[in-house]
Structure 1
Amino acid sequence: MDDETVERVRDVVAAIPPGQTLSYGEVAARAGLRSARLVGRILAEDGHDLPWHRVLRADGTCAPHIAAEQSARLRAEGVLLVDGRLPPELRRGRS
């Protein structure tokens, strides 16, 4: 993966305001990519200094291996998950 791709993803994630979320697919689309999985890989490898917790799966859930920390960070920003997922009305337009 090239540096330009990484930077585009990083820019999109860095621009997500506190209290808001995007899906991996939405980040990919905004970064001009086709692969939501690539977004996850980039965040895993080079996203520790970003608000990675604002990126959720398309169904509004957290990635299982980071769910506890991710939901706690979102809760601190006023984003409440219901039964482990973002309520449907807050997921409009998810890809």
Structure 2
Amino acid sequence: MTPEEYIEAVLDLVDRIPPGRVMSYGAVADALAERSGRASARLVGAIMARHGGAVGWHRVVNAAGAMPPELVAQARERWLAEGTPMRRDRVDMRAAGWWPAEGM
């Protein structure tokens, strides 16, 4: 998979996360690892920072269910609007975590 194809695969997967559900950066990387040979949460984060504006960027969080400080307010509005399970200022990862169906 070329770097451009990986970017598209990340964005396609993020676009499939249902409202009210989330994946961590690492989970996105893990879900694509078999097809891509890549499994880097940092790479997924970099892709989301550069290209994620057109997809549900607020549905990809760190492993603790948080967002970078500069995005928390906007993400929180979206989480609340979608009914995403929360714990204080973070997403409840146990309740909101999502994984794609087999055979992506």
- Regarding TM over 0.5, the answer is yes
Q: Of 49, 62, 77, which residue of structure 1 is paired with 2:82?
A: 77
1:82 Cα deviation (Å)? 2.0
Note the aligned Cα RMSD (angstroms): 2.1
Aligned residues: 94
CA–CA distance in structure 1, aligned partners of residues 77 and 96 of structure 2? 19
Matched, 1:21 2:22: yes
Alignment of 1:6-85 (within 5 A): 6-32=7-33, 33-85=38-90
Instruction: Describe the shift of the 1:75–1:92 C-alpha distance in structure 2 as closer, same or farther (beyond 3 A).
Output: closer
Matched, 1:90 2:91: no
**Higher fraction of helix:** 2
SS at match of 2:86: coil
Q: Which runs of 5+ in 1 are unaligned?
A: none
Identity of aligned residues (%): 39
1:23 Cα deviation (Å)? 0.6
Contact 1:19 1:79 in 2 (8 A): yes
Instruction: Kindly indicate whether structure 1 or structure 2 has the higher relative contact order, using CA contacts under 8 Å at least 6 residues apart.
Output: 2
Contact 2:22 2:97 in 1 (8 A): no
1:86 Cα deviation (Å)? 2.0
Instruction: Name which one, 1 or 2, has greater alpha-carbon Rg.
Output: 2
Q: Which runs of 5+ in 2 are unaligned?
A: 99-104
Q: Kindly report structure 1 stretches of 4+ aligned residues shifted beyond 6 Å.
A: none
TM-score, scaled to structure 1: 0.86
Contact 2:85 2:96 in 1 (8 A): no
Contact 2:22 2:60 in 1 (8 A): yes
